[in-house]
Structure 1
């Protein structure tokens, strides 16, 4: 371990003692969870330093054969571009750091989109934000201060990136063996869509003060060029508008489905909703919000014709819980949409064929919603 020196006023120096972790849970995982900036975002991308949202510590990984949670990832972050970041923390003396952990991380990258939906990831992130005394909406605004992207659209991007294999794998260690550095360097040069990185969080101690110095390995200029090439070809997020949304919709769905989406859009305007457009790379979206109902959108429609009901955004007050109870009841009985048992935490997405056949009934629910909650008071 490299030495760290303390420079005294008289010009003399003292060496800070390097220390090795004894408790991986407390001295690596817990420290990183509480201080996500120990992930050196400025070293990963100097021109646009990465900012982090903690989704969950000990992210459950289900067994594909049974569906039961069998494993867990130490930490799951996303950055401001909605790139999923899997982090495994290992002590220097943990021999697994040299062997099965590498294969385990690659398996997560290959199959992550089978493990978690955007709704599950959003729920975990909401719980993490609540534990820190803030809302997830505030966390997203911190992550993207110049973007108006809604929480539901942001997690749609996270899900899209999982499906496309655009993920980041990070080994977070106090010190790494040379052979692991070689493996990380090799993988990062070969993998176009995924980043494989190693962060050494070296720790030093003196007079009851501990210093952590995170250093990045694995991101050579050669590796950066590989990622740069693929990022140009796969495209960046775009700002959709009415013309581009309905143009994309027309190319992707049947005429009767196109007409149904137009009806919902038109009725949203008639009912004086605030409409916002998404920034998806693959699919466009619009979200309808009525400020007197709350600061989040009630639903989001995508240019593949699917619709998401944003129950989980309305659970902070008894009035909001009463509102989504009404909404779930009407959507079940009038439209025939299935509603999860824990709907108050969820953002169920319905494919186009599941709701357009009852589009008039869906519109009647929105009309009844505004009639019952006309805007005199916020719920």
Structure 2
């Protein structure tokens, strides 16, 4: 997005300086003002360089309701802004999925000078902490790519991920255009994908539930008894190899 300015009676022109010195500069702005991130309320607190286990997430945000937002900052000059960064932020989220709340708080303290997000949010009764624990267990995150310039590749990936992922996971990209003129900084945020996340979250999905392993095997026996033993053997082999069986989404019968 271009920026034009003018003095009274003068001509429109570009600011003296546009863009960021580094990705760290954008990261500092969003750490200090997390409510600039789409979907983050004014009461939120942020942590920079949170050790996810797969690397350091640029910013992790927690608000009083316990909602978790992961933010990765990338400038247009960085070739990773097109594809690799999406995998990067998904990797961070996957490492935080099922993280114990005690470990989460410890890692936050390590990255944030010893302070706890729950102390900063005034969580005296532990309500926020319990909500964060539940969101970690469920893998309920909003993932935000913060950039200085949107591109069609990233927009397409955001649309696809919101279409194929569960309502618990929202993916957005936010453009933060930055300029400097005569000592005055200008920051213009534009979000893309927020409306997709809201629509997905609001869509009726209560009829879809997770079926258990036993229910799935019983269903196989009912609809394709010849293959039921093979399916059971495959599940047993997967367990023996160390895989954890989670079940799947059960569709209602008509």
Structure-1-length-normalised TM-score: 0.48
Distance 2:19 2:136 in 1: 34
Give the match's secondary structure for 1:29.
helix
What does the per-residue CA deviation read over 1:15-53, in whole Å, with 9 as the maximum and x for residues that have no partner?
42562323212x11122212223224xxx38xxx56421
SS in 2 for 1:58: strand
Unaligned runs of 5+ in 1: 63-69, 142-148, 235-379
Match of 1:122 in 2: 105
Offset, 1:190: 2.9
Q: Within 5 Å, which residues of 2 pair with 1:37-186? A: 37-40=35-38, 44=39, 49=41, 51-54=43-46, 56-62=47-53, 71-114=55-98, 116-125=99-108, 139-141=120-122, 150=124, 152-186=126-160
Deviation at 1:151, TM superposition (A): 5.9
The alignment partner of 1:5 has SS state of coil
Deviation beyond 3 Å, 4+ runs, structure 1: 8-15, 123-131, 134-138, 149-153, 230-234
Q: Deviations over 1:251-305 (max 9, x none)?
A: xxxxxxxxxxxxxxxxxxxxxxxxxxxxxxxxxxxxxxxxxxxxxxxxxxxxxxx
Q: Deviation digits for residues 114-162 of structure 1, max 9, x if unmatched?
A: 4x3212333455577767xx88566314xxxxxxx53644222112112
Change (3 A) 1:158 1:233: farther
RMSD over aligned Cα atoms? 3.1
Q: What is the match of residue 22 of structure 2?
A: 23
CA contact (8 A) 1:121 1:155 kept: no
Contact 1:122 1:155 in 2 (8 A): no
C-alpha separation between the residues in 2 aligned to 1:211 and 1:233? 47
Q: CA 1:165 to 1:194, structure 2 compared with 1: closer, same or farther past 3 Å?
A: same
Which stretches in structure 2 are left out of the alignment for 5+ residues? 209-254
Larger Rg, first or second structure (1 or 2): 1
